[in-house]
């Protein structure tokens, strides 16, 4: 069974940093692009970042460019999102998702709250 389990969320002050992790199992992690998608409280879905199988290509939504970094460790079957210079508008549940032209499946998400 394919499983994605996020961790690392929490409360952080504006301007602070946080690193999210996503542990993958049940599939050959190194064969897939991976993604982060977020959802602000009570709002819709917003794609955040994608990373190629070997980590050589990365793409970001404009609102996080220069502040967030997506990475992966194929030996550990893990995906990461380093989030710096956090803002109140980054408050959201962050989901990792396997990407094979579509986002499928998704993890259960981890909540990031940016507040003083």
Partner 1 sequence: EIVLTQSPATLSLSPGERATLSCRASQSVSSYLAWYQQKPGQAPRLLIFDASNRATGIPARFSGSGSGTDFTLTISSLEPEDFAVYYCQQRSNWPPYTFGQGTKLEIK
Residues that bind partner 1 (CB under 8 A): 44-47, 50, 59-62, 95, 101-109
DSSP 8-state symbol, 109: -
Nearest approach in angstroms of CB 4 to partner 1 is: 9
- Which CB sits closer to partner 1, 9 or 105? 105
DSSP 43-92: S-EEEEEEE-TTS--EEE-GGGTTTEEEEEEGGGTEEEEEE-S--GGG-E
Nearest approach in angstroms of CB 67 to partner 1 is: 15
- Which CB sits closer to partner 1, 2 or 16? 2
Nearest approach in angstroms of CB 47 to partner 1 is: 4
End-to-end Cα, the chain, rounded Å: 40
């Amino acid at each position: 069974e394919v499983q994605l389990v996020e961790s690392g969320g929490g409360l952080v002050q504006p301007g602070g940093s946080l690193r999210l992790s996503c542990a993958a199992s049940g599939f050959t992690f190194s064969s897939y692009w991976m993604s982060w998608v977020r959802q602000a409280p009570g709002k819709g879905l917003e794609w955040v970042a994608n990373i190629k199988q070997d980590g050589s290509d990365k793409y970001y939504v404009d609102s996080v460019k220069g502040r967030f970094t997506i990475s992966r460790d194929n030996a550990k079957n893990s995906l990461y999102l380093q989030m710096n210079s956090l803002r109140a508008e980054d408050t959201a549940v962050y989901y990792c998702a396997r990407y094979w032209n579509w986002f499928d499946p998704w993890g259960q998400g981890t909540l990031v709250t940016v507040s003083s």
